[in-house]
Structure 1
Amino acid sequence: MSREMGLSHRLTVANLDRTARRVFYYARNAVRDIAPKSLFRRQLDGLLERAIEGGAPVRERLDYYNKLTTSFTPGSEAVTVDNVPWRRSRYYYDFKEYVRFFDPGLRLDVKFGDVRVVPPVPSILKSRPIAGDNANSVVLNLNKFRHFHMPADSVPFSDKMPKVVWRGGLYSPIRKRFMQAVHGLDFCDAGTPSPKAEEQYRKPYLSIDQQRRYRYIVSLEGNDVATNLKWIMSSNSLCLMPEPTFETWFCEGWLKPGVHYVPLAPDFSDLADKVAHYERHPQEAEKIIATAKAYCRPFRDQQLDRSISLLVLYKYFVLSGQVEPDDEIWRFITDRPRAAPARAEERPRVSP
């Protein structure tokens, strides 16, 4: 089989796999959405009791996603659990996956989409700014079909092409700045498949599998977080990016430069030097890759994901005065001494 035929075959397989995952995602969630809600609500107490068995690591992530500490009243635009807006269906299904375990009359503020600012009232959302007081932004794992795809990578770092790759839309200042900085560099295969982009920046679409053949993959924020960050960090390629400014369920604010990824200057003037350094010191690159992959592992655990999500919502409903807390569960949420901060290379260190 020729190289071109091989590439075409792998791309076809990747597209079929994504289509199959999309069909399964919608079918599973459609079935859940028509199931009697009482079936889920009867499970809540037992699920919360098992969730707190995760101990200090679960508490640490709970505290990070839901930083609220005082009582509050839902805003005038709050919706009930049973009346979540349908728009943006992936957000809807991901939200309903967890909120259906609670009473349908409970009220909460919800913001779907790429949220870049902290809301005036405590709200459930996908993304928030890392800097400043972001406690009103209560994070759940929304739109995870797009953001939490972390396929296995079997190609070692040493066997990959010693070049940099990036593909994406040029709709944010940082991405345009990156393309201007790297345009014409022989070691950098960067571009956008968008037909609306300037011709000099257009490059053919590359699948995840095709991009992972490069040793170095750049991650750049778009409307909020970078969509490709999770699959880069779970691969055997080295992630290069400026320090993140937004975060999601992936806790991007916990990522440490030089530990989980290679930091780049805001103007990308150090890209060539960084690549040259890791070409001379591949063992340093492989250490960062191993640490990044270890960081990703807890986010593959669906049971853990559900446990923490239910605690995030439970804390929200108690502080909003709508749920009378169970003594044991609330003691876990509020009274237990906080765990000592994890070392940067270990976070998040959660086991179910």
Structure 2
Amino acid sequence: MERYNLEYIKYRVNYYNKLNEPISLPEKVKPLSELKLKKYHKTYYFDSQEFCRYFHPDLRIKFKFGDITKIPKTPSIVKSRPITTQQDSAILFKLNKVRHFTFTKDSKPFESKKDKLIGRAHVQKKQTHRVRFYEMYFNHPLCNLGQINKNNTNPEWVKKKISIEKHLKYKFILCLEGVDVASNLKWVMSSNSIAVMPKPKYETWFMENTLKPNYHYIEIKEDYSNLEEKLNYYIHNTNACLKIIKNANAYVNQFKNLKRERLISLLVLEKYFVQTNQLPKRNHLLY
């Protein structure tokens, strides 16, 4: 820890793990030794074992794998949680990172990109917010939208999935949340294009709730009504766009120090075991 800024480490650990009062786990919570590889959520298993293996197998811990949209009653390790005032029992961890923590190297200057918003996504009937966006803007001249899953609801929206490189030909990239967070937000913010989205409702290890609108991304209204206005403004204000890109890239860079990320991950787990009365408090300066 002495290699790093202690206040920064403390901030990150306590952001993810908000268990600031001791709490006992229910008896039904299983020990680490019983964490098994299953057919589903394989990446979650390996991402958790990468760090859990450093702790005694008798220590008990609750994992909730998948897209978590509600705060669990029992203190649990999760990939995602809703942005709300009461998050204590939802402890964020970097899970399914092969999908959610992808960054890119973008050599194409912003100024040379197309003055349009591109969006490719799964659009399912139950995702009414995505359906509404496509209904409003699928045929809009400032948008290139496509639904990458096939269904019988809106076959005219269906287009082939495209690479990140092809997305990066456009100045603006749509980052609409799905079940929880927008999985493309991380790589978009590492590029020379700009994320366009409403204020996020969910967050992950990326700390989406700390993102500043029109500073890290272009914010549009919840009902999407001001999309055209926003796009036209930023199409004609290149300097404002370049500032957002610089800020977004700087934000992403904090997650690229892999040794520091590993340290924070271990400390998040250690705090879980301490606050659930299973380990003595060791890091008095951190929590």
Relative to the length of structure 1, the TM-score reads: 0.78
Quote the residue 2:172 is aligned against. Answer: 216
Q: Summarize the Cα distance change of 1:77–1:201 in structure 2 as closer, same or farther, 3 Å threshold.
A: farther
Quote the residue 1:66 is aligned against. Answer: 17
Q: Cα offset for 1:318? A: 0.8
Decide which of 156, 162, 182 is 1:200's aligned counterpart: 156
Larger proportion of helix? 1
Q: Deviations over 1:178-205 (max 9, x none)?
A: 1011021112001112121511211221
SS at match of 1:91: helix
Contact 1:79 1:110 in 2 (8 A): no
- Structure 2: state its 5+ residue gaps: none
- Provide runs of 4+ in structure 1 moved above 4 Å: none
Contact 2:147 2:157 in 1 (8 A): yes
Quote the residue 1:233 is aligned against. Answer: 189
SS at match of 2:286: helix
**Counterpart Cα distance in 1 of 2:154 and 2:185:** 25
Q: Summarize the Cα distance change of 1:51–1:73 in structure 2 as closer, same or farther, 3 Å threshold.
A: farther
Aligned length: 282
**1:168 has 2:121 as partner:** yes
Quote the residue 1:191 is aligned against. Answer: 146
Q: Deviations over 1:272-317 (max 9, x none)?
A: 1111111111110110011001000011221111100111111110
**Counterpart Cα distance in 1 of 2:167 and 2:257:** 25
State which structure, 1 or 2, has the greater radius of gyration over its C-alpha atoms: 1
**Counterpart Cα distance in 1 of 2:28 and 2:157:** 43
Two-structure CA RMSD over aligned residues (Å): 1.3
Contact 2:138 2:144 in 1 (8 A): no
Instruction: In structure 2, give the amino acid aligned to 1:73.
Output: S
**Counterpart Cα distance in 1 of 2:192 and 2:242:** 8
Quote the residue 1:341 is aligned against. Answer: none
Quote the residue 1:146 is aligned against. Answer: 99
- Structure 1: state its 5+ residue gaps: 1-49, 335-352
Decide which of 29, 47, 51 is 1:78's aligned counterpart: 29
Q: Deviations over 1:141-163 (max 9, x none)?
A: 00000000001111110011111
Q: Cα offset for 1:79? A: 2.1
Contact 2:110 2:193 in 1 (8 A): yes
Quote the residue 2:81 is aligned against. Answer: 128
Q: Cα offset for 1:51? A: 6.7
Contact 1:51 1:308 in 2 (8 A): no
**Counterpart Cα distance in 1 of 2:14 and 2:281:** 17
Relative to the length of structure 2, the TM-score reads: 0.95
